[in-house]
Structures are given as structure tokens and as C-alpha cells.
Amino acid sequence: PYLPQEKDLVIIGGGVAGYVAAIKAGQEGMKVTCIEKRGTLGGTCLNVGCIPSKSLLNNSHLYHQILHDTKNRGIEVSDVKLNLANFMKAKDTAVNGLTKGVEFLLKKNGVEYITGEASFVSENDIKVALNDGGETTVRGKNILIATGSEATPFPSLEVDEKRVITSTGAIALEKIPETMVVIGGGIIGLEMASVWSRLGTKVTVVEFLGQIGGPGMDAEIAKATQKLLKKQGMEFKLNTKVVSGDKSGEKVKLDVDAAKGGKPETLDAELVLVAIGRRPYTQGLGLENIGMELDERVRVIIDSEYRTKLPHIRCIGDVTFGPMLAHKAEEEAVAVVEYIKKGFGHVNYGCIPSVMYTYPEVAWVGQSEQDLKNQKIPYRVGTFPFSANSRAKTNLDMDGMVKMLADPETDRLLGVHIIGPNAGEMIAEGTLALEYGASTEDIARTCHAHPTLAEAFKEAAMATSSKAIHF
């Protein structure tokens, strides 16, 4: 039966997944409610993730460059100082501007925004414990779970966000620590290690695997990245697992085991950053009230149209399958609304770029060499170093390379891996080429402006399909 108060779509979570779905559904003329408990919109990404971390990465790079990379450019600076409070304020200004912008967009698209914690009472009814006190209920014809993720805790080392921190603590430190051990050399570990190492902290990254960068990074690129980060002062312990921790003393102590026959040792640091991955967040959601299923990694189980076992309840973003990335959540948000409204949608999971915003940046899309080897797929490789690119040389910024992988028979592009200045912007070109099924010759025959870093992208394609000109 039609209930007048029933919404076409009730969205739980106002992160990237939730707020983008809310805007899209509003644009499609649906009656939408978005429930968020944080008090601000934008979720992890805008409040404590992508955005604040990129502010700190950008400004710490600038500071580091002013200190160490000006003399050879004929620029003399003196009396350079860091004001950590203002450095953090710049981050907060960026965050506040963007989260308020999202609130404006929800309003503009007619979305009802409720601040409070949502939980399922029944398959269509949601109770909201309002942030301002009291309670309300919302009924949805369709419901979207978009509750995101949280940092995976490290057993035996309780997070206090002061001495044992997650990324949330790492973007809000009030003083520059002397020493920091980072558990986990994935993207969060390396981005945060970069920020604090540039500001003067002695950082050691302990990584369980034999390479840094987390899942998906091409091994050759990961090795090159590690070399450059080491040159910047970071220390690495690979093939090393942190097994336990103790924060009862003046310093935080970590027991580590070297995987390949090395000796166990104890590390200590003023501060320890736990960056061993993130896990789906469904606490307090009352999923047990509707018999919702989670898999062994506590992800909400969905089908290819984001439907849970209850077809009117769908789920997207970090809380379910796939890479935990904001742009992946955003793609899914548009697609899920299209599935609800029109019955079809589209996300190409083979074509989702990854970017690590260290210096230089590392970016990739499609398959890595290991992926192809594991699947016994034949491939051809072409590379082009930034040291042979005129713009990189002019900018005195020559570390890194572009690497392409292509099918040896059809020349179809299979993967792009970049380490170098502006790799995060350049990967968009690789993503577009991959999405359109380009061959490397297609890219090689496309005119690129001179002098630009993007010419290295074209020349890597030339190196893959025939020969580069400048190397």
C-alpha cells in the first residue's frame, strides 16, 4: 500500500557513496532522505580521509621543497618556519568548505538531510537517534546502505589517537613527533609517513609483504617508489610483521618478526601509526533485525546490481566489495540510482584508477605485470623515463617513469603504471584509453602538447607499440 510519508529512497550514510546517490536520486525526481550521524556530510573522505590528507601532503611538500629544493633554482630563502597550528587550519578550511558545499548540493536537489544514527527496525522502517536528542522514524520504498569503513585495529595495541594513532589521529597531531613507526606500508601508511617525515619526524615503515604500496601496485613501480622515499629519509622494514605492541612505557614498543629467517626485534617510537587496512562499518545498524548477511570479511553481501538479499535494500561503497576508494563509491552511487530508477547502470571495475599522493605521485589503472603473469596472459611492456621528458627536465623534476602493458597481438592497452610528477592527473588519460579499449598505437598517434609531462605518456605508448623518439 502507498504510504504518503514513505520515501522513494532512504540513504544511510552521508559519505561519498551516500551523498552522491542522494544528489543523483534528487536529480531523477525521487523523494530522498539521507541520514548521517557524523554531524557533517562527506564521510571519511571529506572529513578525515582524502581531503585533509591531501591538504597536509600538498603543504608539507611545499615546505619541504622550500627547505631543500630552491637553491639550484636560483631562489634563496631564509628563516623558513612551520606554524603547525596554521598548517592544520588550512586543512580545516578546505574540509569545512567542501562539507558545507555538499550540504548545499543536497538542499539544491531537494534531499531531506537528517543528522542522527540510523538503525533498521524492519525491512522498510528505519529508526534515527537524532544528534540533537530524540528519535524519529523514516520509511523507505528503497533503502541504500552506505555506512563506509573504519580503520582495522591492531590487536594488543589500543588506539588512543595520541600515541597509538590511526589516520584520523595522524591528520590532527598538535606537535611534530621525533619518531614514528608506521605499521603497514600501504597507501595510508606511506601518505602519512610522507607528511610527517617532511616535517621532521624520523619515520620507520614496517611492512609484512616484500613490497610497499598495498594491493595492486606494480612491483617495479613499488621498488622505484621505495628507493625515492628512502632518499627522502624514510626507513623501511619489509617482509617484517608487527606481532604485538606495548604502550605502557614512555615509548610505544613493537615486537616484530622478520618473515624470511631474520631475527625478531623490538622497535620503539614516540608514536605508532596503525595503517593495516580498513574494515566495513555496520555497527549499530541493526542488520540483525532484518537478517542481513555479511561475508567472512564483514562486508555486506550484494549482487551485481548492488541488491542485498532483500532486493529493495541495496548497498555500495566501502561497506561492501571492491577497492575502498572514493571515486569507486561515487561511480557506484550513480549506478545504483540508475538501477533503481531505470533498471540498468554501469561501473567498469577493471578501469578504476588508484593514486598514491606521495612525492612523486604513484598512479595506476588496469592490470599490473604480476596480475598478467598470474593469469598467464601474454603482454608487451613499454616504458619512458621522466628524465628524458623535456618538461620534467626543465622543471628539475625528473624522477620516475610511465610504464604501459599491452596485448602483444592486438596491441590493446592492458595497464598503465606511473611514478612521477603529476601522475595522479596523468592517469586519467590512461583510464580513458583503457575504458575506450585503445591500442597503444592509438595513444602514440595522438598529438600531445609540447612541452608537457603528458608527452612521457605518449612516448611510453610509442615504446610499447614501436619505439620512443626521445629515449
Residue 317 near ligand FAD by CB under 6 A: yes
Site residues for ligand NAD, 163-202, by CB under 6 A, read 183-189, 191
Residues 249-308 that bind ligand FAD (CB under 6 A): 281, 284-285
Q: Which does 336 bind (CB under 5 to 8 A by kind): ligand FAD, ligand NAD, none?
A: none
What, of ligand FAD, ligand NAD, none, does residue 36 touch, CB below 5 to 8 Å by kind? ligand FAD
- Which range touches ligand FAD (CB under 6 A), out of 12-20, 104-112, 130-138, 202-210? 12-20
**The one among 193, 329, 454, 462 contacting ligand FAD by CB under 6 A:** 329
Question: Do 281 and 149 contact (CB within 8 A), yes or no?
Answer: yes
From 61, 346, 448, 450, active-site residue: 450
Chain centroid to Cα 427, Å, comes to 15
List the grid coordinates of 18: 551516500
* Shortest Cβ 354–ligand FAD spacing (Å): 8
Should residue 336 be labelled a site residue for ligand FAD when binding is judged by CB under 6 A?
no
DSSP 79-120: -----HHHHHHHHHHHHHHHHHHHHHHHHHTT-EEEEEEEEE
- Binding region for ligand FAD (CB under 6 A) out of 16-24, 230-238, 294-302, 338-346: 16-24
Question: Smaller CB distance to ligand NAD: residue 188 or 365?
Answer: 188
157 to 23, 51, 263, 366, 421: CA distances (angstroms) = 40, 27, 22, 36, 37
> If contact means CB under 5 to 8 A according to the sort of partner, which of ligand NAD, ligand FAD, none does residue 284 touch?
ligand FAD
Cβ proximity to ligand NAD: between 150 and 338 the closer is 150
* Residue 404, SS3 per DSSP: strand
Residue 142 C-alpha cell reads as 528503497
Contact criterion met (CB below 8 Å) for 401 and 423: no
240-269 residues near ligand NAD, rule: CB under 6 A = 241-242
Rounded to whole angstroms, the Cα distance separating 304 from 114 reads 29
Residue type, 163: R
Q: How far is the CB of 182 from ligand NAD (least distance, A)?
A: 9
Count of residues touching ligand NAD (by CB under 6 A): 25
**111 near ligand NAD, rule: CB under 6 A:** no
Which bin fits 110, alpha (ψ -120 to 50), beta or left (φ > 0)? left
Residues from 273 through 302 that contact ligand NAD (CB under 6 A): 275-278
- Cβ distance to ligand FAD smaller for residue 434 or 468: 434
How far is the C-alpha of 299 from the C-alpha of 445, rounded, in Å? 44
Unique residue bearing C-alpha cell 617532511: 198
Tell me which of ligand FAD, ligand NAD, none is bound by residue 148, counting a contact when its beta carbon lies within the kind-specific cut-off of 5 to 8 angstroms. Answer: ligand FAD
Say which DSSP state 73 is in: G
- Strand extents, DSSP E, 215-343: 235-237, 240-246, 252-258, 265-269, 271-274, 278-280, 313-315
Restricting to residues 89-118, which ones interact with ligand FAD according to CB under 6 A? 117-118
**Catalytic site residue 346?**
no
SS3 405: strand
Which one of 6-14, 131-139, 177-185, 398-406 is the stretch in contact with ligand FAD (CB under 6 A)? 6-14
Interface with ligand NAD (CB under 6 A): 183-189, 191, 206-209, 214, 241-242, 275-278, 323-325, 355-357
